[in-house]
Chain A
Amino acid sequence: AIRMTQSPSSFSASTGDRVTITCRASQGISSYLAWYQQKPGKAPNLLIYAASTLQNGVPSRFSGSGSGTDFTLTISCLQSEDFATYYCQQYYNYPGTFGQGTKVEIK
C-alpha cells in the first residue's frame, strides 16, 4: 500500500497567517491527490482534487500544488473557520490511503 506522510502533525497559527501543509507519498501518484478538511464531530469536506483543482464552493484562499510524490496545501490568509484538521488522500490505486492528518490550532 502507498504510504502518505503529512507534516507537520499539528501547529498553531493566527488569523491572517499564510500556512502550508505538506503531504509526501511513498511512491509516485501523479496528480491523484485530494485534500479534505474535517472539523470536530463532522464529516470531512473536499477542498482540492487532482492535486490543484479547487472543489466548487471552496474559498480561493485554499490552493494545492505538486505531483509525483510531493504535495502542498496552502491557505493564503487563515480565517477563524479554517481551524480544523486537514487530510491528504491518494486515489492512484487502492487502498486509497490517507495521511495521518494535520491539526491547525489557534495560537
Chain B
Amino acid sequence: QVQLVESGGGVVQPGRSLRLSCAASGFTFSYYGMHWVRQAPGKGLEWVTVISYDGSNKYYVDSVRGRFTISRDNSKNTVYLQMNSLRAEDTAVYYCAKGGRLSSSHIDYWGQGTLVTVSS
C-alpha cells in the first residue's frame, strides 16, 4: 500500500531555513508527480508546490516562490522541500502527497504531515 512519511519539521526562528523530507513506498515513485500541501493551525488546506515525475517541471504558489524549493531523488524514493527565509505565516502542518503521471492529475494519497513552527 502507498505510504508517505514526512520528517524534518520543528521549531525554527524567522528568517532561518528548514528542509522537509518525504519517504515514499508502495508504488513506483519515479512514475508520479509529488506535491506539498500545508495547513496552518485551524485553517484550510493550501497547495504549495509540485514536482513532475522526473524533476523537470516544478510549480509553486506565489507566497513561497523564490523561498521554497522542491526536489526529488528517485533513487531514494524521496521528495524534499527546502524552505528558506521562513516567516511566521509559514507555520503549518506540511503534507507530502502523491500526484498522477500527468501534470493535470489529482492528489490521491497523503502523508500524515509534519509540523513546522516559525517563531522567535
B107: chain A residues at CB < 8 Å are 34, 36, 46, 89, 91, 96
- Contact assessment for A43 and B108 in the assembled complex, using a CB-CB cutoff below 8 Å: no
- Compute how far the CA of A55 lies from the CA of B106 in the bound complex, rounded to whole angstroms: 11
Which of A91, A95, A97, A101 sits near B106, CB closer than 8 Å? A91
* Given A1-B62, A43-B113: A95 and B47 interface contact (C-beta under 8 Å): yes
Q: Assess whether A100 is in contact with B44, with CB atoms less than 8 Å apart.
A: yes
Least CB distance from A66 to B in Å reads 15
Query: Does B50 contact A96, Cβ atoms closer than 8 Å?
Result: yes
Residue on B with the closest CB to A42?
B112
11 A-B pairs (CB sep. < 8 Å)? A1-B61, A36-B45, A36-B107, A43-B112, A46-B108, A49-B106, A95-B62, A96-B107, A98-B44, A100-B44, A101-B45
Q: Are the CB atoms of B62 and A98 closer together than 8 Å?
A: no
In the complex where A94-B59, A96-B50 touch, is A44 in contact with B110 (Cβ < 8 A)? yes
- Interface residues on chain B, size class: 20 to 34
- Would you call B108 and A49 a contact (CB within 8 A)? yes
User: Which residues of the other chain, A, contact B110 by a CB distance below 8 angstroms?
Assistant: 43-45
A77 smallest CB distance to B (angstroms) = 25
Q: Is the CB of A95 within 8 A of B59?
A: yes
Chain B residues, CB < 8 A from A95: 47, 59-62
Count the A residues whose beta carbon is within 8 Å of the partner chain — how many? 26
B77-120 interface code vs A (CB 8 A; 1 in, 0 out) = 00000000000000000010000000011111111110000000
Chain B residue nearest in CB terms to A9: B44
Q: How far is the CA of A38 from the CA of B97 in the complex (A)?
A: 14
